A and B are shown apart, each in its own frame.
Chain A
Amino acid sequence: MAAAGMRCPACGSTNIVDDDLYSQAQLVCVDCGSVVSEGVLANDPVGGSDVSFSRTTAVAKRPCTNLIKGELLPSKRSFSLLLQCNSVLLLVHFLKWICFTHTGQQRVKAICRILMVNREIEDLSQTYYKMAYEHKAFLKVSLQKKEILTGCCVLLSCRQLNWPITVGTISCLLDADSMAVGAIYQEMVKNLSIEAPIINVTDVIEAHCHEYKISSLDVPEEMAENSRDLTKRAVALVELAADSWIVTGRKPIPIMMAVTYLAWQSLKPNKHRLKFSLDKFCQVAKVKKLKSAMKRVAEIKEVLCKLGKEIPWVRETVTPDNVIQLVECILQNRYALLRRAMRTHEDALLEESQASCAEAPPEGTASSQISECADQAPIMSFVKQNGLNSDGKEKPGDVDYNPRVLPKHSDTQESQNPPPNWGKRVLFAPPCVIHAKKRRAVQPEHTDVTGDEEISDSEIDSYIRTPQEARDFALMQHMLSLSDSAKS
């Protein structure tokens, strides 16, 4: 029957009838034949379908978003790892920003918000992500790599705009291995041809110190320390460590941990604090301890001892145990002490070389050419044995570096032995050079090998089992597999 009050839009008549076409309901005007309205072709079940259209037609089955691992929700393990990294107040802000991000851009934004970086960095990282995502090198990589890429973009923009952040923090946030993050970061930098400065440990140390919960709110008064004082002392210690070759080539976080611990001890060097080991300190400050931090502590203490010896008013011998009390004094006058230490060391070396020169005819004017400046060691020219002169003396004519002139040494004794480690003659050098491992004697090279020699049968037979041996071996393997299956 016609719906009351309906008019055909084409001819204006009211003579409209229900005329269903197969299963589709239609209202048709009788006079002109135009279809006034029609119903849906298929009816959805009441209350909506069980399966939505998008899910039925999805090409790749995606797991439920609740099940996707690592959607910026750290596991319990990584909570403690987060604290170890130098991220500031992550926990509080993180809880505000738990989000399921579906696109990389949103993820980049989330990471930036969590790290509380400024607007500029956020925009720059979005730009980089867009560039990297569309670069052909990253078009066909796995989803996991694309997720890591978001973190790398943030890392890159933070570095460029001088926001101190470490690879460790980003890998914690992404719940990924730091080596994987590093690899993708380097690939990205190479493909986008961007230069990024390296992090400076002194910048990062401030953020790192904030992580340690040793303010007066968290721990008893005798162990508490003001964050600002701690940072200041730690920065001075890090600069000293950098000057004495402890920082170069090492991971920054164990160094920062060691330096924070020593700074805390030295701010109030009473018996109580000195008895605290690094383990206990990390427990109190609720930070996860790193194994190599202990080694760094020992190395820094060694350097402090070397400088502590130069303090004129200290009478007793300076040992790693009692050097902590002197730390404040050492740091205040560190440059002067460094110069003094270098001068003392050079004087000592001079005396030694003069003593050895007195035995053999002098080769060059070694004494007059020892450089004044700090960490320069007298350089030994490591000449191959067959490069030495016939009389066994070293060749003069080292690298002449302007303005420093390198000394020429005549060490007839030493040229006959294997050349000693140059680290032994220097006051400050990378610790693995000072305490070098003993090397095995170098195997004599096969200089007569040409590659086309005859290979005798007997030699080859030593690499092949006899048939009896092969049978025995097969039997034994069979027996072993039987016993394994019997056990299980």
Chain B
Amino acid sequence: MDSSNDEALDIIITNVVATFRTRCHLNLRTIALEGTNVIYKPEVGKVLMKLRKPMITASIWSSGKIICTGATSEDEAKLGARRLARCLQKLGFKVRFSAFKVVNVLAVCSMPFAVNLINFTKNNRPIASYEPELHPAATYRIKNLKATIQVFSTGSLTVTGISLLTRLNTHRHIKYLTPFYVQLRRHIGLRD
């Protein structure tokens, strides 16, 4: 039976969203003028700053709250955030890097078989929901891990949740997903 951890599932983390605060007010016009790789959005009231290495996009608000997206690991997100804070420091603001927190992690995984979403949803009724007219994937919410898995008919899975955080938890997820993998194999119907 399928119980080994180093089985065929490679979960690749594709996005880590993190927030931090600079503890000082930021003048968005100054940042837009003197920074490179920035996009100023005055209608929303923020500046988007893109870093090249690591590949990160940060939304900077004038209150000093910053959201970083696009990192592929927690450490990379922290490095990017610190780099950004340093950049703002150089621009002349009295930045103090504080309250760094990872808010969301997104990972993808690919099953080597197709999934019949209608049968899958029928068998997992309250946990799974599927609306073909709205979104092509079935949504499966794991309450105790606070994660959401979107199952596509091609066998791709998108896992979202803050508990995917550390490497340790990624293994937990693989462990959790492996019986899920077996269950999915059971539930893919050939004909309705």
List A residues at the B interface (Cβ < 8 Å): 166-168, 178-179, 182, 185-186, 189, 195, 197-200, 242-243, 245, 248-253, 373-377, 379-384, 387, 397-401, 422-423, 429-430, 432-433, 445-446, 449-453, 455, 457, 459-465, 470, 473-474
Contacts and interface: CB of A to CB of B under 8 A. Distances in A.
A174 to B, nearest CB: 15
Contacts of A251: 132-133
A422 B112 contact: yes
24 contacts: A167-B134, A185-B131, A198-B118, A198-B132, A245-B114, A248-B116, A249-B136, A249-B153, A374-B190, A375-B114, A377-B112, A381-B112, A382-B112, A422-B113, A430-B153, A450-B75, A450-B79, A451-B77, A451-B82, A455-B86, A463-B49, A464-B90, A470-B34, A474-B33
Interface stretch (B59-67, B157-165, B179-187): B179-187
Given A382-B8, A465-B34, A249 B191 contact: no
Contact of B190 (A195, A243, A397, A470): A243
A463 B37 contact: yes
B73 interface: yes
A430 B152 CA distance: 10
Contacts of A243: 190-192
B83 A455 contact: yes
B107 interface: no
Interface of B: 1-2, 4, 6-8, 10, 33-37, 49, 51, 54, 72-79, 82-83, 86-87, 90-91, 110, 112-118, 121-122, 125-126, 129-134, 136-137, 152-155, 181-182, 185-186, 190-192
A239 to B, nearest CB: 8
Contacts, number: 156
Contact of A460 (B76, B87, B118): B87
Contact of A473 (B8, B33, B77, B116): B33
Contacts of B8: 381-383, 398
A251 B125 CA distance: 21
B91 A387 contact: no
Given A399-B185, A451-B75, A463-B51, A379 B112 contact: yes
Contacts of A462: 36
Contacts of A195: 125-126
B69 to A, nearest CB: 16
A460 B83 contact: yes
Given A460-B83, A462-B36, A400 B136 contact: no
Given A379-B113, A380-B112, A399-B182, 18 more contacts: A185-B131, A197-B122, A243-B191, A249-B132, A249-B153, A251-B132, A252-B132, A377-B113, A379-B112, A382-B112, A383-B8, A384-B10, A399-B2, A429-B154, A432-B154, A449-B73, A457-B90, A463-B35
B136 A250 contact: yes
A178 B79 CA distance: 41
Contact of B133 (A167, A376, A465): A167
B133 A430 contact: no
A182 B131 contact: yes
Contacts of A463: 35-37, 49, 51, 87
A461 B132 CA distance: 49
B74 A451 contact: yes
B184 to A, nearest CB: 10
Nearest to A399: B2
- Top 3 nearest A-B pairs (CB, nearest first) are A451-B78, A249-B153, A182-B134
Contacts of B91: 464
B144 to A, nearest CB: 18
B150 to A, nearest CB: 11
Given A400-B1, A446-B76, A452-B78, A433 B155 contact: yes
B5 to A, nearest CB: 10
Among B114, B129, B192, residue most surrounded by chain A Cβ atoms (within 10 Å)? B114
B124 to A, nearest CB: 11
B97 to A, nearest CB: 11
B186 A401 contact: yes
Contacts of A384: 10
B154 A433 contact: yes
Contacts of B129: 186, 189
Among A178, A422, A423, A449, residue most surrounded by chain B Cβ atoms (within 10 Å)? A449
B54 A446 contact: yes
B168 to A, nearest CB: 16
Given A186-B131, A463-B36, A449 B114 contact: no
Nearest to A442: B12
Contact of A168 (B133, B154, B155): B133
Nearest to B156: A433
Among A199, A379, A451, A473, residue most surrounded by chain B Cβ atoms (within 10 Å)? A451
A445 B72 CA distance: 8
A383 B91 CA distance: 47
Contact of B131 (A198, A450, A455): A198
Among B7, B90, B132, B190, residue most surrounded by chain A Cβ atoms (within 10 Å)? B132
Nearest to B74: A451
Contacts of B10: 382, 384
